[in-house]
Structure 1
C-alpha cells in the first residue's frame, strides 16, 4: 500500500517525535486500536520510522466484534509492511471496566515492547483528549500536577500527537483512503470522558484544543519545577532517626510542605494512597502541633514533624 501524507503533518510529527525519542535509532511499539486517532499515528510513524516500528492491537475481548477489529488492523499493517501483534489479556476484565481495561492494556503493551526490543510505546492521545482531560480534572478540583493533564512522555510511553486536533487525524485517514473502526464505548455517556466530549460538542464555550495544549504544557513545566525543588528540599530536610522520619517544614511554601509530607508518608508506606482532602487535614493538624495518624503512620507536629509506624490498635 502506497500512502502519501501532507508534508506539513509529517514535519510536525517529525518534530514532536524528535523531542520524545531518547535516541534516533530507538524502536517504537505503536498502539493501534483501529480508530482514526491510532490509525493516523500508524500512518505517520510508518512514513518516518518504518524500520523501527512495530504495531500492536489489544483485544480486550469485551465485545464479540473485537477480534475482527484487531484482525482488520492487522490487515492494514500487513499492507503497510508494518509488523503487527494482537494482544489479549491473561484474565477476563471485570470490575471497573474502563480502569481495568486500561491497566490490562498497558501491561500487555509493556510486555510486548520488551519482547520486541522497543524502547518506547507510542499512543494516539491528541489535542482534543488533552482539553477533555484538563476540564475533567478541573471539575474534580485537581492541582498543578493533575491540570498538567496528559504528559507527552510518561516513562516509556510517548504521545507525539498531542499537538494534533482530532479533525486532522480524521483527515489523515481519509486522505489515505483508510476507514477507521467505530468503538461504541466512545458514544456511551455513562463514561465521564464521553460525557465531557458530548458537552464540548454541543455547548457554546470558549475552550479550544490548541490553547488547552499550551496551558497543559505550561502546567507540566511548573509541575516539573516543583518536583525538582521538592527533591532538593527532601535531601536537605528529611532524615532518619531511630526508625522514624524527621523533617524540617519551617519557612517553606504550603505546596512544598504538601509534597514533602507525601514523600515522608510514602517512604514509610509505599502503598499508601492519601487523597487530597486527607493531606489537607493532616497539614492543618501538624501545623497546629497536633499528633494524628493516617493509615498505619503516626504523625507528630511541632518544630520538626516526625513520622513513624503507628502502634497496633487495641481491640
Structure 2
C-alpha cells in the first residue's frame, strides 16, 4: 500500500468476513480508513446490518457512509455485484480514496475456482478473484488483502472481539451455485480450500504473464492504418491463439465495440482459416503478406467498424 494516496476505503456488509477486515484495518491503519456499507434493497434486515456497521465504526472512530442501491432486472447476484461496485466507485471518488478493499478470503477463492472450472472458463477466469485490480470503469485500485485468510479464522477474530455479525440467509440458499459449491467443499475434506486458493494464485501469475505478452503483441504487431473512410487496425497475427484472443478483444474495444473472449476466440479461429469474421460491431478480414527478405508470409488481419445497416 506504499503507493496509495488517500484513505483506504473498506466495503463492509456486517457479515463476519468484512467485520474482520474492518477490525484488522482499524488496528493496522488507525486514522487512515473509511467505511461504506451498502443496502441492496433485497431484505428487510439489511437496514439493521448497515446500522450494525455504523455503530462499530462510531466505536472505532472510523468515518462511515451508508449507501442504498436499486437493482436492475436480471441475474440477481450479478446485478447486485454491478450495483455494488458502481456505488463503491462513486463513493471512492467523492471521498478521494486511494483504494477500496473487500473481504474476499481463501474459501471464496476456492469456491470461485471450482465454479469456473465447471463452466469451462479460460485462464483469465481460472485466475479467480484477483488480489489487486481496478474498480470497473475507473482508475481506483480494488484490493483484496485477505485472500490468504481462512473464513473460520476471520469468524473467530470477530467472535473474540465480542461482536455478533449479521447472517445473510442467501448464503445458505441452494438456489445459488456458490452455496452448492461451498456445501460440497464442506462435505469432502479431500478438497482442500487452501490448496485450491493456492492453485488459483498460480493461475493468476500465469494470467499476468498472458497480459504481459498480449501487451507486447499489441505494441509490436498492431498498427492503425491511414484510411480516410474509416479507422482500420492491421494485426500481424502470428502468436498462440490465447494471445490472439486478448489482442482481438483490445482491437474491437479500440474501435468502440464490445466482445467476450469466447466470441473473440471464434472470430480468431475463422480468421486463422482465412475466413472473414464479424464481431462486436467490427468487421475483420484475413489475408497474408510476404515477410521482407524471406519466402515466408505473415498472417494479416484487418479490423474496421461495421458499416451502419440500411433501413427501409
Same fold, TM-score > 0.5, yes or no: yes
Taking structure 1 as reference, are residues 275 and 218 closer, same or farther at Cα in structure 2, changes over 3 Å only?
closer
How far 1:205 moved relative to its partner? 5.1
Does residue 274 of structure 1 match 2:260? yes
Which of 50, 63, 71 is 1:70 aligned to?
A: 50
- Is 1:207–2:191 an aligned residue pair? yes
CA contact (8 A) 1:287 1:302 kept: no
Is residue 121–residue 158 contact of structure 1 (8 Å, CA) maintained in 2?
Answer: yes
Q: Secondary structure at 2:147's aligned position in 1?
A: coil
Q: Which of 210, 226, 249 is equivalent to 1:226?
A: 210
1:45 aligns with 2:33: no
Alpha carbons of 1:92 and 1:312: their partners in 2 closer, same or farther (altered >3 Å)? closer
Please state how far the C-alpha of 1:109 moved relative to its aligned partner: 1.7
Please give the TM-score of this superposition, normalised by the length of structure 2.
0.87
1:134–1:216 CA contact under 8 A, matched in 2: yes
Q: TM-score, normalising length from structure 1?
A: 0.86
Kept in 1: contact 2:249–2:259 (CA 8 A): no
How many matched pairs?
Answer: 290
Q: 1:81, CA displacement in angstroms?
A: 2.1
Which stretch of structure 1 is more off in the superposition, 293-302 or 47-56? 293-302
CA RMSD of aligned residues (A): 1.8
Q: Do residues 291 (structure 1) and 271 (structure 2) align?
A: no
Counterpart Cα distance in 1 of 2:149 and 2:109:
10
In structure 1, list runs of 5 or more residues that go unmatched: 1-19
What is the rounded CA distance, in whole Å, between the counterparts of 1:259 and 1:115 in structure 2? 33
Sort the Cα spacing of 1:63 and 1:28 in 2 relative to 1 into closer, same or farther, 3 A: same
Corresponding residue of 2:34: 54
Give the Cα–Cα distance (whole angstroms) in 1 for the partners of residues 75 and 15 of structure 2.
22
What per-residue deviation string (whole Å, max 9, x for no partner) do you get for residues 159-208 of structure 1? 11100000100110111111111111111111111121122122x25322
Higher helix share: 1
Change in Cα spacing, 1:297 to 1:29, as seen in structure 2 (3 Å) is same
Indicate whether 1:258 and 2:238 are aligned: no
Q: Of residues 170, 189, 196 in structure 1, which corresponds to 2:181?
A: 196
5+ long unaligned stretches in structure 2: 135-140, 289-299
Q: Give the alignment partner of residue 303 of structure 2, picking from 302, 307, 310.
A: 307
